[in-house]
Amino acid sequence: MSGLKLKLQEKIQVEKPRTEKLLKEYANVKVDEVNIGQIIGGMRDIKSLVTDVSYLDPFEGIRFRGLTIPEVFEKLPKDAGNEMPSVEGFFYFLLTGDIPTTKEVDEVKEEFNSRSKVPDFVFNILKSMPADSHPMTMFSAAILSMNKDSLFVKKYHEGVKKAVYWEYYYEDAMNLLAKLPEIAAFIYRLKYRNGDIIPPDPKLDFGANFAHMMGISKPYDEVARMYFILHSDHESGNVSAHTGHLVASALSDIFYAISAMLNGLAGPLHGLANEEVLRWLHGVMEKMGGKVPTEEEMKNFVYETLKTGVIPGYGHAVLRKTDPRYMAQREFCLKHLPNDTLFKYVDLLFKVVPPILLEQGKAKNPWPNVDAQSGVIQWYYGVKEYEFYTVLFGIGRALGVCSNIIWARALGYPIERPKSLTTAMLEEVAFGKK
C-alpha cells in the first residue's frame, strides 16, 4: 500500500467512529430550520452537508483543512526555488489533513507519475469530436470515457465489502488525477495550437508538467500550481462539489462523478464566470481604445452595465467579503505583472465597483470573487482562449472533489435523497388549507 493510502487508512480509523457516534447517539438533534424562501431559493444556506476537507466562512473565506490560503502557501512544502507549494503535497494535505514531508510529497509525485499514461482511445475520442466543441465538453467526455477501466466497478461486481469501497475510489481517483494535466493540455493544443502536441515530461511535477505541455515557459508553472490549489475546494454546497458528491453517492464511479462535476462547473453561474469577466474587460478596453480609463470613466462603464446586468466576478452566494482567492491572485499580479494594462483595469474595478454596489444596495456581497482576477493572469501568459479557463478550474476542483468522494465512501455516507414537496403543500404550510 502506498504511503498516502496507508496514512489515509489510519485517518479513516480515527475519523469513522466520530461519524458513527453522531449517527448512533445524536441523529435526532436539530441543526437547522428551513424556510420556504430557502426551499424555493436553491437551498441557500441550508446546513445539510458534511465535509472536513474545507470550510467557507462568509467573512473570512475558505480554509483548507483548517488553514487559510496564506497559511497553505506558507506551510506546505515547496520544491527548491519554487514560489508555490506542489500540487502533489497539497493533495496529500487535502486528503489526510497532515502537512506532508518532502519524502511524502515525492511519493505522491511517483504515484501520479506511474499512473499518468493516458490511454490512446481518449486522444482518439477528443480528435473525433467536432472542432467547435467546447473544451469543457471535451474534458468531460474524455474523463467519462475512462470509466470502463474503473477498479471500483470491477471490485463492486466482485462483491467487495462496503467498508473497503473507499480503497477503490482512491485507486480510481489517483488514476484519474494523474492524467488530468495531459488531457487538458492535449485539448488546448489540439483546439488552439493546430494539434501540435507536446508530450509530458515525467521529471516534472504536476504544475510544471502542465505548463510544459501547454507550451508556456516559467513562471506559468507557478501559475498552474497556484491556480489548481486555489480552485480545489470551496466546501460542499457549490454546484461542482455537490454534483460530484451526489453522483458518487449513487456509487457511480469517480469517472462518472468527476465528469458530472465538470458539467456543473461549465455553467455561466459557476465556473464559466471567469470567461465572462475577461469578455467584459475586453469590451471596455475596446471602447477605451486600449487606454486605461480614469476612475470616472470606469465608474460610467460600471453604471452602464448595471442598468441591464451585473458586473461579472462580483458577488458570491456565501462570501460577504473579498474572496481570499482573489487576494492571492492579486498579490501574484502585483509581483509578476504590475504594469499589465488588463490588470490595471481589474485593479481599478476593485476600487470603484464595491462602493457602487453598496450605494445601489442591490448586491448582498459587493466584493470580487476568484473569477474577477483569474482570467487576467491566463491572458497575460498567453492563454487567450477564454473558453479554456474553466478547464483549468476543473483540474483544480477535481483535487477537492476526489478527496471528498473518497472520504464520503470511507465514512459510509449513503445515497443522497432529499425530500420534495408540491407547491400546494408549501402554500398549505404558508397560509393554511383553502
* 387 contacts 275 by C-beta, under 8 angstroms: yes
Of the residues 79, 172, 316, 323, only one is catalytic, namely 316
Give Cα 248 to chain centroid, integer Å.
17
Would the CA dihedral through 62, 70, 321, 376 be positive or negative?
negative
As measured in angstroms, the least distance from the Cβ of 272 to ligand MLT is 11
As measured in angstroms, the least distance from the Cβ of 269 to ligand MLT is 9
Of the residues 52, 98, 270, 282, only one is catalytic, namely 270
Q: Residue for cell digits 465597483?
A: 353
* 254 contacts 369 by C-beta, under 8 angstroms: no
Q: Is 64 helix (H, G, I), strand (E, B) or coil?
A: strand
x/- map, 336-375, ligand MLT, by CB under 6 A: ---------------------------------xx-----
Active site residue 270: yes
As measured in angstroms, the least distance from the Cβ of 234 to ligand MLT is 3
Q: Contact between 49 and ligand MLT (CB under 6 A)?
A: no
As measured in angstroms, the least distance from the Cβ of 292 to ligand MLT is 28
As measured in angstroms, the least distance from the Cβ of 136 to ligand MLT is 15
Q: Contact between 238 and ligand MLT (CB under 6 A)?
A: yes
Site size toward ligand MLT, by CB under 6 A: 8
CB nearer ligand MLT, residue 251 or residue 318: 318
Q: Contact between 54 and ligand MLT (CB under 6 A)?
A: no
As measured in angstroms, the least distance from the Cβ of 397 to ligand MLT is 7
CB nearer ligand MLT, residue 8 or residue 67: 67
Q: 129, 317, 337, 411: which one contacts ligand MLT (CB under 6 A)?
A: 317
Q: Contact between 65 and ligand MLT (CB under 6 A)?
A: no
CB nearer ligand MLT, residue 238 or residue 263: 238
As measured in angstroms, the least distance from the Cβ of 72 to ligand MLT is 15
Residues 6+ apart with CB under 8 A from 100: 76, 77, 89, 92, 93, 108
- Which one of 78-86, 249-257, 310-318, 402-410 is the stretch in contact with ligand MLT (CB under 6 A)? 310-318
DSSP state of 131: T
Q: Contact between 234 and ligand MLT (CB under 6 A)?
A: yes
CB nearer ligand MLT, residue 116 or residue 390: 390
Q: Give per-residue burial for 312-329: e unless 16+ CB within 10 Å, then b.
A: bbbbbbbbeebbbbbbbb
The full 3-state SS of 295-320, as one line of letters, equals HHHHHHHHHHHHHHCCCCCECCCCCC
Q: Per DSSP, what are the bridge partners of residue 368?
A: 314
Give ∠ CA 379-130-144 in degrees, rounded to 5.
Answer: 85
Cα–Cα distance between 52 and 61 in angstroms, integer?
15
CB nearer ligand MLT, residue 96 or residue 365: 365
Q: Per DSSP, what are the bridge partners of residue 67?
A: 64
Nearest Cα to 118, choosing from 190, 58, 63? Answer: 190
- Which one of 181-189, 247-255, 312-320, 374-382 is the stretch in contact with ligand MLT (CB under 6 A)? 312-320
DSSP state of 57: E
Cα–Cα distance between 312 and 368 in angstroms, integer?
9
Residues with catalytic function: 270, 316, 371
Residue ranges in contact with ligand MLT by CB under 6 A: 234, 238, 240, 316-318, 369-370
